[in-house]
Amino acid sequence: MGEVAPPDCLAKCLPGAVPAVSDPETSKKQKMAAKLPKIIFGTSSLGNLFSEPSHEEKKAVVEKIVAAMPTAVFDSAGKYGAGLALEELGKCLEELGVAPDDVLISNKLAWKRVPLTTPEPTFEPGAWVNLKNDAVQAISYEGVLECFAQGNQLLGKYDAKIISVHDPDEYLANASDDADLAARKQDVLGAYRALSELKAQGKVQSIGVGAKDITVIDFITDHVRLDWAMFACSITPYTHTAFARGLLKKLAKQGTDVINSAVFNAGFLIGGDFFDYRKVTRESDPE
């Protein structure tokens, strides 16, 4: 189902806005308000990441998860299979008779499903198997609102209650020059304005960020009130830099909770062929 397995000290994701400067009393009240389980289930495999399970195989996995948890929590994204993961998750839950109130869904926003007009999807070539749609990045105020609406449509009778901007690090990394980078940073902050409005309207419970390049999490949390941050491939048995550890301390002081994902470097440490979502061989990476 994908790697999202927070260690004990990083296992919470709470509703309620968190100020950039820590307020111990506010933080205490927020932490009393709600707690998620220590394991949050990823859904990338529902979007055919690296392989193509059948719908029945996907439903069997979802069924086991729902049976194991009082309230199952799923982490998904429009990028996962160009919306296929969201679509399959909604279908599986409905076919299993799961009530919307008995499940909590996180949708990482920034990628929007569009028609497939090329032999294979244009994003992350080689990672997704037999997709029927493509996805384009849409990080802006209007873009993430469109992603949010499309995601809920794909989920059917279910709505995402936890939202974030997905891969803002990749968006910033693709800047062509300093002026473009500055404009893209404003796009990211505009996207978070949209997320904050959705939360203020009561449409979602909490907002956060997910990124592989955690320097971007550092940038965002200098400007935005977040409830949580998802680190990918950054706190693992193999990867745990001093910067990452320092950022954990910063977020702890702000009262921002951390979800640790891709805890085995996207499966490589447990025998997979992909390291941090990139296929590696002895020839390509001799060290």
Q: Give percent of the chain above pLDDT 90.
A: 64
Q: What's the pLDDT at 14?
A: 28
Please report where in the chains the tokens 């996995």 appear, as a residue: 61
Least confidently predicted of 19-33, 133-147, 230-244: 19-33
Residue 3 has pLDDT above 90, yes or no: no
The residue ranking higher by pLDDT, 277 or 147, is 147
Least confident of 53-67, 76-90, 121-135, 223-237: 223-237
**CATH code for residues 8-279:** 3.20.20.100
Name which of 48-62, 132-146, 177-191, 269-283 the model is least confident about: 269-283
277: confidence class by pLDDT, cuts 50, 70, 90: low
Confidence (pLDDT) at 61? 98
Q: How far apart are CA 42 and CA 247, in angstroms?
A: 23
Mean pLDDT of 36-52: 91
Q: What pTM does this model have? A: 0.78
- The pLDDT, as a whole number, for residue 123 is 93
Angle value at C-alpha 58, between 154 and 261, nearest 5 degrees: 80
Residue 49's pLDDT is: 95
Instruction: Tell me: pLDDT of 205 over 60.
Output: yes
Round to whole Å and give the CA distance between 170 and 212: 8
* Predicted local distance difference test score (pLDDT) of residue 106: 96
Q: Where are the domains of the chain?
A: 8-279
Out of 74-88, 191-205, 254-268, which region has the weakest mean confidence (pLDDT)?
Answer: 254-268
pLDDT reported for residue 266: 60
Retrieve residue 158's tokens: 């279910």
Q: What pLDDT is stored for residue 234 in this prediction?
A: 65
CA distance 228 to 122: 30
Q: Are 131 and 111 in contact (CB under 8 A)?
A: no
